[in-house]
């Protein structure tokens, strides 16, 4: 099958490309600059090792018509390209505009390509819920029928960007009948990277967890998922004609502090993970130092999050590995590639 992958050099997309190549597909990947070996060299190496074939095309999320060349002749488009950052900056310019306009441009080019019969959109559980407190107000268990109703540009802007982008994708999909839309909603994606880049949020987060940059942490639960399961789900959504709708991808919901304590237990003295809990009253005082607001602390610290990922198991055949295994595999990759001591 001829399959397009936008943002192919990204952390998640790299594993998606690998999975598709391993299954023998012809992958048309879009990147900003195909000549940058530091960005795409690992993709070319995968293509040399695996049975599928790879073509790389230059594309710009914000430029209408930019994906047409890459999409030509493709049956399926996997739109993975979207900014992911939890740091400061201009949230509208850095997050919302690229996510929203990038989705519009990619789907417009899919509609302009007669061969395209399916679009697989990489969304996020951030489009399912924004604040952890939402889980309690919705019966204690979140599923694909739920939408993030609390995030705003000035409160949790990344979840807000994923929500408006996915809603726009569904609006566009329902206005045409050429292709069907399948959406994947992964939790916080972790696991070994295929490149040595450190500019991805997931990689940066694990480096900070291991090197003492977060010596303590407040109670915050989040859904997690291994990047390899996310890649598998993308390939299954590509190949399974019966797949439809949204799919939560999560191996479970675990407090971030628990992950730090696992690292300390499994690698005594080797890394410097957070093992101490910050009480909520202290979190209120400390939040501004880390770019968080009082509102964020009030509706996220100390709340349980529970999500139903059963649809991904039933419809896509995903089998989730334990998060502790994911964390250890990620640490070993970072050490092997010289990214942490």
Selecting among 63, 93, 133, 162, the annotated active-site residue is 162
DSSP 202-270: HHHHHHHHHBTS-SEEE--EEEEEEHHHHHHHHHHHHH-TT--EEEEE-SEEEEHHHHHHHHHHHSTTT
d(CA 162, CA 165): 5
Q: Classify strands 216-218 and 245-249 as parallel, antiparallel or unpaired.
A: unpaired
Residues of 321-336 as b/e, b for ≥16 C-beta within 10 angstroms? eebbebbbbbbebbee
d(CA 279, CA 283): 6
| Domain locations along the chain | 2-335
Q: Is the pTM of this model over 0.85?
A: yes
Q: Token pair for residue 50?
A: 């695996």
How confident is the model over 86-142, as pLDDT tens digits? 555 788 888 899 899 999 999 999 999 999 999 999 999 999 999 998 887 777 799
- Relative orientation angle of helices 157-174 and 97-111, to the nearest 10 degrees: 20
How confident is the model over 203-229, as pLDDT tens digits? 999 999 999 998 899 888 999 999 999
**Domain formed by 2-335, architecture:** 3-Layer(aba) Sandwich (3.40)
* Catalytic-residue membership of 311: no
Q: Using CA atoms in the order 228, 231, 236, 238, what is the torsion angle rounded to 10 degrees?
A: -170
């Amino acid at each position: 099958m001829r399959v397009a992958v936008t943002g192919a050099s990204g952390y998640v997309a790299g594993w998606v490309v690998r999975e598709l190549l391993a299954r023998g597909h012809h992958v048309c990947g879009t990147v900003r600059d195909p000549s940058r070996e530091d960005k795409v060299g690992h993709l070319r190496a995968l293509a040399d090792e695996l049975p599928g074939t790879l073509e790389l095309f230059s594309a710009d999320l914000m430029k209408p018509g930019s994906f047409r060349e890459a999409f030509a002749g493709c049956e399926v488009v996997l739109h993975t390209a979207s900014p992911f950052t939890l740091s400061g900056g201009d949230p509208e310019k850095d997050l919302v505009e690229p996510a929203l306009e990038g989705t519009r441009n990619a789907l417009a080019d899919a509609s302009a390509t007669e061969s395209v019969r399916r679009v697989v959109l990489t969304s996020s559980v951030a489009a399912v819920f924004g604040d952890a407190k939402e889980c309690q107000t919705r019966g204690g268990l979140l599923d694909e029928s739920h939408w993030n109703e609390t995030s705003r540009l000035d409160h949790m802007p990344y979840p807000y960007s994923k929500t408006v982008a996915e809603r726009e994708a569904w609006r566009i999909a329902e206005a045409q009948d050429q292709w069907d839309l399948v959406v994947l909603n992964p939790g916080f994606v972790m696991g070994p990277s295929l490149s040595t880049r450190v500019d991805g949020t997931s990689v940066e987060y694990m480096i900070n967890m291991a090197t003492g940059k977060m010596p303590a942490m407040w109670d915050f639960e989040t859904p997690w998922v291994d990047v390899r399961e996310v890649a598998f789900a993308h390939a299954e959504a590509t190949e399974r004609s019966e797949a439809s709708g949204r799919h939560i991808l999560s191996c479970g919901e675990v407090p971030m502090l628990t992950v730090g304590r696992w690292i300390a237990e499994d690698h005594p003295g080797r890394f410097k993970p957070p093992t101490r809990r910050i009480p909520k009253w202290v979190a209120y005082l400390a939040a501004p130092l880390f770019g968080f607001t009082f509102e964020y602390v009030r509706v996220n610290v100390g709340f349980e999050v529970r999500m139903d990922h059963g649809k991904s198991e039933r419809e896509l055949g995903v089998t989730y590995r334990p998060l502790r295994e994911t964390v250890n595999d990620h640490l070993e990759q970072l050490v092997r590639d010289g990214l942490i001591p």
